[in-house]
């Protein structure tokens, strides 16, 4: 067989299947940059997720009411119809009451802080279990931009990394691609918080001589112009000081469990607030 006789179709297929993806991977691109050709699909996915979320809320409401009605029927068999209806209403109100209490707490937090906050509902998670992102039902039409901070009453959640008209995606603080400028609250030593492994975050690039102890609270430094200064990220659980290294690595337990959130706040004015603070106004 002649060495130079080859099937052009097969060569083309091999290029498309393996060479192109390999070239694409090797091309220099910042992870936060979004490809223009994926935009329509991101937009579509946001809408589909939002649709599912609305459907789910409706179904949950109906199911909760149905279950409550069954319970009331069992408990109040002998009671008058009027009484049963009142009890049914009371049962269905429990979920609303709990939601009301949660939202009141969030509202109180919003009013007490000087930040311009936008409340958003979590509508989706990441496709892959090793990637920690969530989708919210607010987008560019609500004033959301890329790299805006997201927080909750407990502390830092993550930051916006992809936006669409009515939905956005948040890179959670425990994702491996997330980096947050942080300081030790007690000693003011500075480092970077990164997602490390399963549900773990680490404070890295902290100087070897910096003062940090187990139990210390790590807060945002505000220097990245993304997060407001002083928001809790996590508490120190262990310190790894290698024998010859210049830095020490600190393991943290995040104050917020980002995977179990239902509502978050997007900080709309961090950059303005930071600029005002610096100018002394």
Partner 1 sequence: MKNHWLTALNIIGLVVVANVLSAFQTSLWMQVLGGFPPPFFWVIVLTYVILHRHVTEGVFLVYLFTLTLSAYTSLPFEQFLLTNMMSLVLILLIKNRIYWSSPNYFMLMVSTATVLHFFLIFVLSQFLDRNPLRSPELFSWTLSFLMTILFSIPIYRVLKWWDRVTDRDELAESTGGLVI
Which residues here bind partner 1, judged by CB under 8 A?
9-10, 13, 16-18, 21-22, 24-25, 27, 29, 31, 35, 37-38, 41-46, 48-49, 51-53, 55-57, 60, 123-133, 135, 161, 169, 171, 175-177, 194-198, 259-260
Closest CA to 34 of 131, 132, 147: 147
Nearer to partner 1, 51 or 245 (CB): 51
Nearer to partner 1, 9 or 243 (CB): 9
Cβ proximity of 166 and 50 under 8 Å: yes
Q: Is 230 left (phi over 0), alpha (psi -120 to 50) or beta?
A: left
Nearer to partner 1, 123 or 267 (CB): 123
Residue 118's CB is within 10 A of a number of other CB atoms, namely 18
Q: Closest approach of Cβ 276 to partner 1, in Å? A: 32
Nearer to partner 1, 33 or 82 (CB): 33
Closest CA to 160 of 219, 96, 226: 226
Q: Closest approach of Cβ 281 to partner 1, in Å? A: 37
Give the whole-angstrom CA distance, residue 165 versus residue 117.
Answer: 18
- Give residue for tokens 């068999």: 77
Q: Closest approach of Cβ 127 to partner 1, in Å? A: 4
Nearer to partner 1, 43 or 109 (CB): 43
Give the whole-angstrom CA distance, residue 276 versus residue 229.
Answer: 13
Q: Closest approach of Cβ 167 to partner 1, in Å? A: 10
Q: Closest approach of Cβ 246 to partner 1, in Å? A: 19
Residue 42's CB is within 10 A of a number of other CB atoms, namely 17
């Amino acid at each position: 067989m002649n060495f130079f006789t080859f099937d052009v179709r097969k060569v083309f297929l091999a290029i498309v299947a393996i060479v192109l993806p390999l070239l694409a991977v090797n091309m220099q691109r910042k992870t936060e940059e979004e490809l223009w050709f994926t935009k329509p699909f991101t937009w579509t996915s946001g809408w589909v997720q939002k649709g599912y979320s609305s459907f789910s809320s409706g179904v949950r409401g109906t199911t909760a009411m149905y279950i409550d009605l069954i319970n009331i029927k069992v408990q109040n068999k002998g009671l008058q119809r009027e009484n049963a209806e009142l009890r049914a209403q009371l049962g269905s109100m429990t979920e609303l009451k709990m939601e009301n209490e949660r939202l009141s707490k969030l509202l109180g937090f919003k009013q007490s802080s000087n930040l311009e906050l936008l409340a958003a509902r979590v509508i989706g998670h990441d496709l892959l279990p090793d990637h920690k992102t969530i989708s919210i039902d607010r987008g560019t039409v609500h004033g959301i931009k890329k790299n805006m901070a997201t927080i909750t009453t407990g502390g830092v959640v993550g930051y916006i990394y992809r936006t669409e008209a009515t939905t956005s995606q948040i890179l959670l603080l425990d994702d491996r691609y997330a980096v947050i400028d942080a300081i030790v609250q007690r000693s003011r030593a500075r480092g970077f918080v990164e997602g490390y492994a399963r549900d773990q975050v680490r404070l890295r690039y902290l100087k070897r001589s910096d003062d940090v102890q187990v139990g210390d609270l790590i807060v945002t430094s505000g220097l990245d112009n993304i997060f407001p200064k002083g928001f809790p990220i996590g508490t120190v659980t262990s310190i790894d000081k290698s024998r010859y290294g210049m830095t020490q690595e600190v393991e943290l337990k995040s104050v917020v469990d980002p995977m179990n959130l239902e509502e978050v706040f997007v900080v709309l004015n961090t950059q303005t607030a930071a600029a005002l603070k610096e100018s002394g106004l």
